Amino acid sequence: MTVSNVINNKPNVRPQTRARVLAAIEATGYQVNPLARALAGGRARVLSVLTRQQNLPYVTEVLMGAAQTAEELGYDLIVLMAGSRTDSDLSPMARLSAGTLLIQPPPDVRARYPHLPAHLVSVDGPSDRPLTVDNASGALAATRYLIGLGHTRIAFISGMDAHARRLAGTPHGTPGVGEDAPQRLNAYLHAMQQAGLDVPAGYVQSGDYSKRSGEDATRRLLALPDPPTAIFASGDAMAVGAVHTLQNLGLRVPEDLSVIGFDDLPMAAQARPALTTVRQPLREMGAEGVRLLVRLAEGEALPGGPPAPFPTELIVRASAAPPGR
C-alpha cells in the first residue's frame, strides 16, 4: 500500500519513506504497468485502438497520429487487431481503457464487440463520434482533373461494397459514416455526367483497397473493347497496383494511360512515377480521435452530432497527363 501511495503521488507518506521507495524503484528499474493498474482500479490513463488486419497502410497512418497525441496528453495506447475470425472478441481488453478509437469498424461493432467501453470514436465507420472526410469533393476534384487534361474515357476502381451500397440508394453527396466507397463512386459518376461523358459497361470495377485488387481490376479494364485512357482508383494501394500492372505489360504511365489514387499514403510519393492522388488527413484524424476520447474520459460534455468532415486535397504529381494516342 505504501509503495502504491508513492507511485500515485499520494500525500499521506512520510518524506523519509517516500525517498526510500523512490530509491528502490530506481534501483530495480520498476515501471508502472498501465494494464495492471486498470485491472486493479477499473480505470487508467489508457486508451485502446480496435482495428482490422486489413488495409494496413491506411491504418498505420491513423495510428501514427493517435499514438503521438496520446503520448502528448499523458495517455498510454494499446492496439487491438481483429482478424477474420468472427468468434474472437477483443473488447474485454478494450474495456480496460478509458475509451476506444475504432478504425474502419463494421456496422455492427457494438453487437460484435459487446464489452467495448462507453466512449467510442471512429475513423471511417460507425460510432457516436464518427470522423470522416469530404469524400465527394475529393472524388469530384480527381475526376474533373482528368477531364480537364482531356480524358473522356475514364474508368473507376471502387472500394469494397460500393456497388451494393449504391444500389441500396446512397445518393451523391449524402453525408454518412463508413460510406467512403459509395460516396467516391457517386461523385465520379456525377462528374462524368456533368461533363456529358459516358461510363461504358465495365468502366466501374470493384476492388477492396488492396494492391492485388487494383492489379486485377486493371487487367479487366484493359481487356475491354474500348479500354480507358485514365483510371481513378478509390485507394492508393489499388492505384499503385494499376501502375505496376500497366508497366509490367509494357505500357507507360502517364504517357499511355493516366492513374490517380485516393488517400496520399507514403507509397503514393514513393511510387514511380509519383502518384497523383487525393489527400485525406489520416494522421490528423487519428490525433483528433484521441483528443475527443480524452475529453470524454475526463468528463467534458461535447456538442451533439457528428464532427464536421475533414477536407480533402488533390495532390498533383506525375502519374496523370493529357491522353496519348
Look at residue 243 and tell me whether its pLDDT is greater than 50.
yes
Model confidence pLDDT, tens digit, residues 224-239? 999 999 999 999 999 9
In the chain the domains, ranked by start, together with CATH numbers, are 1-31 (no CATH), 33-131+284-297 (3.40.50.2300), 135-281+311-315 (3.40.50.2300)
Residue-wise pLDDT for 58-95, tens only, equals 999 999 999 999 999 999 999 998 876 666 778 787 88
More confident residue, 309 or 172: 309
Percent of the chain with pLDDT over 90: 61
Letter string b/e over residues 55-70, b meaning 16 or more CB atoms within 10 A of that residue's CB: bebbbbbbbebbbebb
The pLDDT, as a whole number, for residue 33 is: 57
C-alpha cell at 32: 508502472
Which of 175 and 319 is assigned the larger pLDDT?
Answer: 319
Q: Report which of 200, 141, 208, 214 is spatially closest to residue 181, judged by C-alpha positions.
A: 208
153 versus 38: the higher-pLDDT residue is: 153
Between 314 and 172, residue with greater pLDDT: 314
pTM over 0.85: no
| Number of Cβ within a 10 Å radius of residue 120 | 26
DSSP 42: S
- Could you give the percent of the chain with pLDDT greater than 70? 85
Cα 71 from Cα 69, distance rounded (Å):
5
- Give the amino acid at 311: P
DSSP string, 194-234: HTT----TTSEEE--SSHHHHHHHHHHHHTSSS--SEEEES
pLDDT higher than 60, residue 321 = yes
Q: What is the pLDDT of residues 247-275, one digit of tens each?
A: 999 999 999 999 999 999 999 999 999 99
Per-residue confidence (pLDDT) for residue 190, from 0 to 100: 97
